[in-house]
Each structure stands twice: as C-alpha cells, then as structure tokens.
Amino acid sequence: MASIYKNNNTWYLSVTVGKKRVSRSLKTKDYKVAKALKPHIETQLIAELTGISDSNERLSFPELSERFLKAEHGWAKTTYDLYCLVLRTHLQGKPLPANPSSRAIHIRHINACWNWGLKNHLIHKAYKIPGDTKGESRVRTYSAAELKLMFAEISDASFNAFVRFAYYTGGRSGEIRRLSRKNVLDESLVVKGKTGRRMVKLNTQAQDIIKDQDPLWSYRKDFVSHKFKKEVRRLGIKDARFHDLRRTFGLNLIKQGMSIYKVSKLLGHSSVRTTEQHYAPLLTVEIEDFEL
C-alpha cells in the first residue's frame, strides 16, 4: 500500500509492505510533481522493503548529520539550533555533559539522528548512545518571600516589570521577551510557543503591567538569563533560574485549588499528562501529615 501526504508544505510518500513501513520525502511542494514521482519512488521503496534491492547509500555519521539537518522536519528555529549545537559538539569528539539533564538532551538528539538514518535507509546500523534520555527533573520553585524580594528589589524598572509579568502569566522566556502590541488582546496574549501559536491568559496583575509598559520588551535570550542570574545573586537568592518563575506559577495555582486541567491549559502544555509529570514531584511535599 502506498500513499502520498503533505507535511509542512512538502509531499512525502509512504509505502507499507506487510508490517514494514517506510516514508520518503518527494522534495517538492507541488502536488502534480509529487504525483508524477510517486510510481518511480514507490517501486524503489517496495524493492527495499522486500529485500529485492537495498538502499545504495551508506552514510558516515558526519554525512548523516548534514543530511538530517537539511531535511524537512517542521522544527521551530530553537529546536533546529539545539540539534546543530548537539551534533556539532558530538562530531568534534567532545565528551557528553556531566549534568544529567544536559547529558540526556545530548543522547536523545544524537540518537534521533541515528533513528532517522535507519528509517530512511541511509545507514545499515545505528550506533546509538546508551543511557538515560530523560534526565533529572528540576524541582526548584520560589517561596513567597523570594518572590516578594525580587519584585521589590530588582533595580532595573523595565526588567523588574518583565520578571513580574513572567510570573503572573507563567509564560516561557521565548514567548514573552519579544512582544508586539498587535498580539496583546484585552485579557490574553497571542504568542508562539513550543507547539505553535497559543493564547496566554492575562490576569489583572499582568494586564496592569503590560498596559503601563512602553515600549514592550525586546530582549535576547542570553540577556534574560544573565540579567536574571545577576539580580538574584545580588539579592542572595540561590540556585535560581528564570524558568523557575513559570514552575512556581503552576505550583501556586495548584496549591490554591485550581484543577490540573486548567493549569495545563494556562501553561500551554501539549497534554495534562505533561503537567502531571512536571508537578507530581513538587506536590508530594504539599501533602498533609498522615499516620499509618
């Protein structure tokens, strides 16, 4: 069975023989061209799946990486940049990061490249890296006293407003550090999140901040990270990262009694299960004392 389908404006051919299935990009956005290519590519894929012929490509990992990065995956720019960084580091022969979470990210992205090569019959064998691909979940959140200190003492007025806005919305840095007035609605904000465009709810506190903020923020990613760390170090707040504001936002809403479903929607998670996985370790310490 063979069928063509569109993914991110590029046509693909999918062929299934028995329980084996393979997909191949037709490298065109034109349906007529894709339809014309279908019989030729279908014959090649059926021959590969049945063992009558095999793919004539035997790529080395540097060649595979280059082909992998040039292929159409529908990634966001941040995802593409991360793959470039990880694969470049690996090709340079550098050791995996010592930090468990960073190490897991590298293993996961390198192995994804190997898996793609196998799926597209570009390699005979994948030399995947064994090890944890999930890493350790960060559980740092801020206390009410730490939030109060930050909101009162971060000296740069514009950045102070940005930090408060991040907490009151639960927005990711990448969603809110470059805003346009046209994306600001009465009670919500249209942003580009990890899974595409989404709506960010603006509570009254967030509305008051953005109403008085002129111009809106236009920060680089590195600036936000470095500026925040500099400010919290000055205030004596330890082990603090900007993203911890978002985690604290979600935890505090759950502690106030908001359903996990609503919190998931506010955070822009792809599913409630994602929210549960993130917050289950945090909520364990919130359970009241009990005796057995």
Fill in the DSSP letter of residue 190. E
- Identify which of 51-65, 94-108, 147-161 has the greatest average pLDDT: 147-161
Token pair, residue 63, equals 């060649």
Query: Distance between CA atoms of 106 and 86, rounded to whole angstroms?
Result: 6
85 within 8 A of 62, measured Cβ to Cβ:
no
Residue 281: predicted pLDDT: 74
Q: Quick: pLDDT tens for 181-206.
A: 999 998 999 998 777 789 999 999 99
Residue 51: predicted pLDDT: 63
Which of 166, 159, 176, 139 lies closest to 234, judged by CA?
Answer: 159
Statement: residue 52 has pLDDT above 60: no
CATH number of 144-284: 1.10.443.10
- Identify which of 75-79, 168-172, 253-257 has the greatest average pLDDT: 168-172
Cα→Cα distances 251→171, 229, 281, 286, Å: 14, 22, 11, 10
Query: Distance between CA atoms of 177 and 59, rounded to whole angstroms?
Result: 41
Count other C-beta atoms under 10 Å from residue 69's C-beta. 15
Strands 2-7 and 188-193: unpaired
Name which residue leads in pLDDT, 156 or 75. Answer: 156
Q: Where are the domains of the chain?
A: 2-50, 61-119, 144-284
Q: Quick: pLDDT tens for 133-185.
A: 877 778 899 999 999 999 999 999 999 999 999 999 999 999 999 998 999 99
Query: Distance between CA atoms of 111 and 61, rounded to whole angstroms?
Result: 11
Phi, psi (degrees; rounded to nearest 5) at 25: -70, 135
